[in-house]
Structure 1
Amino acid sequence: MTRNHVFQVCIIALCSCSVLFVIEQILDVNYFIKTVSKVFFFLVIPILYIRYICKLTVKESFNIQKVRWKSVRLGFLFGSLAFGIILLTYWVLRSIIDTDAIMYDLQERSGITPEIFIFVALYITFGNSLMEEFYFRGFLFLNVYKTGYKVFAHVFSAFLFAVYHTAIFATWFSFELMLLALAGLFIAGILFNWLNTYSQNFLNSWIFHIMADIAIILIGLHLYGIL
């Protein structure tokens, strides 16, 4: 990828996340519309760019070869640690987390009722995590990292990943907790990136992401009174 392609990828990423922020926080749309929008910006546009601008297949671009245990074991190791840390953090901070605001946002603004929560949970755990890792770690980080702009690739992709997510739950937490979440997501993004420098694909961070999401889903099941 040339320097011009790096610039194009960064502009695409900034524009995509900005539009998704507007859809998430400003427009009054349901969860289905948000999901379709995310598929378009996080999968369709990158795949079209890779195929018709970079003239590569997805497998060629992201080095997706035969998966071996040695190449993904770091994802399982750090994913297990994240699983425990997320549950522990929730348990420690649960008294200062406004769970009523979270439930109102999920049910009223996003339309996620207890009846459909399990289906949304499955999508978040496997589908949403795949899209985000494909986008932030594959399309954005690895493409820029391979050009030699390694520090910029780490910082830019991790920062955008953190800001994108804090925008999603901007109404959930106090300002102090939002800063803590932003810092935690930025560090997670850096760690996701680092894991993928070993395999040169996004599989390790996807496994990590899945396990972290499982912990979050367990918290959601508790809040919905299902678990």
Structure 2
Amino acid sequence: MRGKHIGQIVLLTILSCIALFIIEQIIEVGYVIKTAAKLVMFLIIPLAYITFVLRQPILAFLNVKSIDIKNLRLGFIFGVLAMGIVISAFVLFHNFINTDTIIDDLQTRLKITPEIFLFIAIYITLGNSLLEEFYFRGFIFFNLYKTDHKLLAYLFSSLLFSVYHVAIFAVWFNIWLILLAMLGLFLVGLVFSWLNTKSNNFLNSWLLHILADLGVMLIGFHLFGFY
């Protein structure tokens, strides 16, 4: 991949995340519209870039034709560990988190109610995790990693992954918890990327992401009063 493509990918992905932040926090659209915008930014535009600019077949680029289950064991092990860490962190820091603010934000800004939370949880765990892993690891990380800019691949994809999530929890936590969450997400991004170098595709980090999100959704069910 030529140097100009690296610059294009960096600029394109930064602009996409800025656009999603504006949609999430400034325009404050509902969850359905936000998800549609995310599909465009994180899936349709990258697929078009791979096809028409990089001129690569999608399956060849993603390298998911042949899946070796043995290469996914690390993703599962780290995923179970991540789920435990997420739940433990909530238990440890719940006195510093205004859960009423989180529920109010979900219901008023994103229009997520207890009645539809199960369907949202299924989408986030399986669909949204796939979308983010394709974008941050499949599209950004591997595009940069295939060049001589391997350190940039790790740092940029992980930093953007961390900053992007600020749009989701910006009003949930105080500034110190936001910074702590960003640091955690940055480190998680590094681990996600490293795992994917073991399988040469983004399936390891997707499996880890699924299990980590499952932990988050279990917390969500608790906040909505299901148990």
TM-score using structure 1 length:
0.98
Residue-by-residue CA offset, 1:113-146 (whole Å, 9 max, x unaligned): 0000000001100110000000000100010010
CA distance in 1, matches of 2:97, 2:88: 14
Q: One-letter code of the match for 2:186?
A: F
Q: Does 1:61 find its partner at 2:61? A: yes
Residue-by-residue CA offset, 1:38-97 (whole Å, 9 max, x unaligned): 000000000011011111122111211221221111100100100111111111111111
Report what 2:116 is aligned to. 116
The 5-angstrom pairing of residues 172-183 of structure 1 reads 172-183=172-183
CA distance in 2, matches of 1:110, 1:80: 29
The 5-angstrom pairing of residues 8-87 of structure 1 reads 8-87=8-87
The 5-angstrom pairing of residues 76-225 of structure 1 reads 76-225=76-225
Which consecutive residues of structure 1, in runs of 5 or more, have no partner in the other structure? Answer: none
Percent identical: 51
CA distance in 2, matches of 1:138, 1:93: 32
CA distance in 2, matches of 1:7, 1:223: 42
CA distance in 2, matches of 1:52, 1:44: 12
Cα deviation, residue 194, structure 1: 0.5
Q: Which runs of 4+ in 1 moved over 4 A?
A: none
Which consecutive residues of structure 2, in runs of 5 or more, have no partner in the other structure? Answer: none
Cα deviation, residue 6, structure 1: 1.0
Cα deviation, residue 167, structure 1: 2.2
TM-score using structure 2 length:
0.98
CA distance in 1, matches of 2:215, 2:46: 29
Q: One-letter code of the match for 1:195?
A: L
Cα deviation, residue 28, structure 1: 2.7
